[in-house]
Structure 1
Amino acid sequence: MAERKDDLATLLQKPPRRSRGWLWSGAVALVAALAFAGYWLAQAGTSGTEEATYATAPVARGDLTVTVTATGTLQPTTRVDVSSELAGTLAAVEVDYNDSIAVGQVLARLDVSKIAAQVANAEAQEASARARLVQAEATAREVAATLATQQELADKGLASRSNMVTVEANDARARAAVDMARADLTLAEANLALARADLDKAVIRSPIDGVVLNRKAEGGQIVGPGLNDPVLFVLAENLTRMELLANVDEADIGQVAVGQSAVFTVDAFDNREFVATITQVRYASEVTDDVVTYKAVLAVDNPDLRLRPGMTATATITVAEETGALLVPNAALRWAPPRSASGQGAAGLAGLILPSPASRNPPQAVASGRSLWVLRGGVPVEVAVAIGATDGRNTIVSGAELAEGDAVITDQVTQAN
């Protein structure tokens, strides 16, 4: 009885054979459906055709101007800061803003009462030293005569040796006194010269012909070289000739050179361009906010005095000019046909259903920079060229196989039919 129950339980646990057959039938049907779908997709993919169309531009002959942009400020050709060499009080200020000045013209005067007293003292000392020199020279002549007389007596045997020694000593002392008096006179003359120089410096004069740009001096003001801001006047030489100090980016400085021409604008005159010429390109770099620039100095004519020191200017420097050259758009130098797809898709059933990534997204080509693609008979043809100057939009090219009017390819658009 127990054996029958075990056999019955074993039979109940086994799946019926009919159910297992249905499972196998379903799996085969699914595989067949997937295979058919993959075949249909593959046929659909190969039945369509793709037609490539190209955007082109003609090779044109024309003129090209290459420019560099820089910003800077206008400054006088010669600017001088004038201060007082002496400490003192300003007694008078004799010029104002925008006054025209000449070399040697008085700008301001210091109170000279103390300096005048020093000059008088130095003059007295110089006179005293001169008198002492005269006295010393007279004494020296007297002693020299006594020495000569004593020498004659000694030669005749009428003078003692002790008298001779005394007279010779007196002569040496007299000559030394003359030297000392001369040195004292020299010192007194030097002190007098210094005092008179200070008196002269108490009158502040212009060192140049020009105009007063700024005046910081006022009557009664205490001035001196030891102050925080000792500058009293800012003078500029002839403002009809100025200079523009332009900051050129390090990426452009290699193209900038002395003698190149430029035009610039200022905010005060938006509709007017001013002409300038580069006179200097400085080697020293300047770093501002991690940006490296180099200073270019441009000479500017300012006959009508419209331009003023300190104005901000934007300059366009012409670094290269070509006439009658073959020009192509820069886009033509960047274009190249897509590379052929490499690599295979997935194998087996997945390969039938899923197209390979390369067929969906062909690799992007990279232009060599030494050739162009010209459309000839509807087919792109690579032509070797030499690259010249560029203005950012067009580039000068030359090549034996390139001619004016050739259609260079700048882009490609693929359309499915």
Structure 2
Amino acid sequence: MPPVRRRPSKAMFVVVAIGLLALVAGAAWWRGARSEAAESAWRTVQVERGDIRVAISATGTLSAISTVTVGSQISGQVTDVLVDFNSQVNQGDVLARIDPRTYEAQIEQGAAQIAGARASLSQAEAALRNAELDYRRKSDLGDQQLVARADIDLARAAYDQARAQVTSTRAQIRQQTASTESTQINLERTVIRSPVDGVVLTRTIEPGQTVAASLQAPELFTIAEDLSQMKIELAVDEADIGQVRQGQTVAFTADAFPDRQFRGVVAQVRLAATTTNNVVTYPVVVSVDNGDGTLLPGLTVNAEIEVSNRADVLKVSNAALRYKPVGGDVAPAPSASGGRGGGALLADLEQVAAGLDLTPEQRAAFDAALAAQRERAGARAGTGAAPAGARGAGGPPPGAMAMRPGGGGGDAGMQAQLRQRMRERLQEQFAGFTRLLDEGQRQRWDAALATTLGATRATLYRLVDGRPEPVQVRIGASDGTSTEVRGTLTEGDVIVTGERAPR
């Protein structure tokens, strides 16, 4: 009989399959373990795209834009008070009255004195006419030598006295008339009227109370002119005041309305600094629309001044900006041109040019200047030129960074000089391009160039194939947690924030 061939059992197939799967899983685990071991040596974060909002917190008090204090210029007893707290008043409305009888009596007395003075004037004018006639008669007779010269002189003196008496009486009438008019004004002041349209905030008098205005005008009422428009006076710390500008948006809340958020606009940054317990603050006035009448004068508010709001930008955790490799300084990221840090600056210049709406001729001039700039930077890198800070009077190489790796600013005076030299060098090298720009383009180019050179730059360390690679970036706004970055980074890049201790 021929031998019987046994077919492989199902159990053998299962065993072989399990073995193959184990080999594949082991290989995958081994590769993952190697990758994890390479990356686990670093603490990292990813570059994200999102919004960065920078706000300054401050407290203040709501008040009316214009508040008028109504007082009394005269003394007397208050007879009527016609308004109360929160009363709506219009300009000219009567608020209160002071007893007018004293001033009415003074006016009657003055009128009587004026009448008496006018009667005296009539007598003086009659005496003047008589003295004038007497003097003329005696003067004519004196020409005929019929009277003595002494009589003529006496008649002349009597005439002059009568004329002076008339002048004096007229002056008395004017004086008494002015006094009466002054009393009439005081009589009108016994009626206290509202100088503006508004609402009564405070009232400090009651009927029957005596007002004494001998030294200063007493305050009777306080009127808020218009509560539909209000203001907040915030106390902003000196460390933050440099970021506050007129027109910035302000969001605030009040304890009286915890579920609502209100908005306003910075109207004024005042220069009158206040020092309290060695803390210097500046008053910032915020205008608020209160058309619905919700907000009340005197409310304490907690406000946030939005000094920057960057939407849809690349950002990275601030921990990445603080990281520096162990073992000393590390050279900045090499640029595309071969220079030390020049790539970021040249990339910024390309972005500036892209926003100028250049003509073909202007674009060709810019490209030529940019290519020459890259060539010079590459030549310096190839010849091992000295670092920017050690070039002496010759200044840094074109496109070299004035910031130290990692964002260190160095000496402020030296940094300012380096930026100025760099600006002069760039203006010289791009002179042919700028001559082709119109006035508007040239102003935008100069402003953008100044902003670019004055920008803060830092070195981040991107993790590539398990090793950190230095990348220079331009730093933008920061909200305290994340910071806007510009450069050769892309969303999702892994950035080193620290090194893990070996296990």
Shared fold, TM over 0.5: yes
Paired residue for 2:493?
406
* 1:297 counterpart = 2:285: yes
Q: Against the structure 1 CA distance between its residues 155 and 60, is the aligned structure 2 distance closer, same or farther, given a 3 Å change threshold?
A: farther
| Partner Cα separation in structure 2 for residue 398 and residue 178 of structure 1 | 94
Cα displacement (A) at 1:59: 2.4
| Partner Cα separation in structure 1 for residue 73 and residue 216 of structure 2 | 14
Paired residue for 2:400?
none
Q: In structure 2, which of residues 112, 126, 134 is the aligned counterpart of residue 124 of structure 1?
A: 112
| Partner Cα separation in structure 2 for residue 197 and residue 143 of structure 1 | 41
Q: Unaligned stretches of 5+ in structure 1?
A: 1-48, 341-365
| Partner Cα separation in structure 1 for residue 114 and residue 496 of structure 2 | 95
Paired residue for 1:270?
258
* 1:372 counterpart = 2:460: yes
Cα displacement (A) at 1:64: 2.4
1:376 aligned partner, one-letter code:
V
Paired residue for 1:136?
124
Paired residue for 2:20?
none
* 1:315 counterpart = 2:303: yes
Q: Unaligned stretches of 5+ in structure 2?
A: 1-36, 329-404, 409-457
1:327 aligned partner, one-letter code:
K
Paired residue for 2:314?
326
2:461 aligned partner, one-letter code:
W
Paired residue for 1:67?
55
2:459 aligned partner, one-letter code:
S
Paired residue for 1:236?
224
* 1:94 counterpart = 2:82: yes
Paired residue for 2:429?
none
Are 2:39 and 2:466, in contact at CA under 8 Å, matched by a contact in 1?
no
Q: Against the structure 1 CA distance between its residues 408 and 50, is the aligned structure 2 distance closer, same or farther, given a 3 Å change threshold?
A: closer
| Partner Cα separation in structure 1 for residue 216 and residue 178 of structure 2 | 31
> 1:192-243: CA deviations, max 9, x gaps?
1221122111211111111111112111112223699932211111211111
Paired residue for 2:477?
389
Q: Against the structure 1 CA distance between its residues 321 and 166, is the aligned structure 2 distance closer, same or farther, given a 3 Å change threshold?
A: same
Paired residue for 2:352?
none
Paired residue for 1:165?
153
Cα displacement (A) at 1:127: 2.3
2:129 aligned partner, one-letter code:
R
Paired residues, number: 343
**Mean Cα displacement is larger for which, 143-152 or 284-293?**
143-152
Relative to total residues, which structure has the larger helix share, 1 or 2? 2
Query: More relative contact order in 1 or in 2 (CA 8 Å, sep 6+)?
Result: 1
Are 2:128 and 2:163, in contact at CA under 8 Å, matched by a contact in 1?
yes
SS in structure 2 of the partner of residue 91 of structure 1: strand
* 1:187 counterpart = 2:175: yes
Output the TM-score relative to the length of structure 1.
0.76
| Partner Cα separation in structure 1 for residue 160 and residue 204 of structure 2 | 61
Output the TM-score relative to the length of structure 2.
0.63
SS in structure 2 of the partner of residue 384 of structure 1: strand
RMSD: 2.5
Relative to total residues, which structure has the larger strand share, 1 or 2? 1
The ranges of structure 1 where at least 4 consecutive aligned residues each deviate by more than 6 angstroms after the TM superposition are none
Q: Against the structure 1 CA distance between its residues 181 and 228, is the aligned structure 2 distance closer, same or farther, given a 3 Å change threshold?
A: closer
> 1:69-104: CA deviations, max 9, x gaps?
111011011112222222222111111111111112
2:468 aligned partner, one-letter code:
P
| Partner Cα separation in structure 1 for residue 49 and residue 257 of structure 2 | 36
SS in structure 2 of the partner of residue 284 of structure 1: coil
Paired residue for 1:338?
326
Are 2:56 and 2:304, in contact at CA under 8 Å, matched by a contact in 1?
yes
1:269 aligned partner, one-letter code:
F
| Partner Cα separation in structure 1 for residue 216 and residue 155 of structure 2 | 64
Paired residue for 1:80?
68
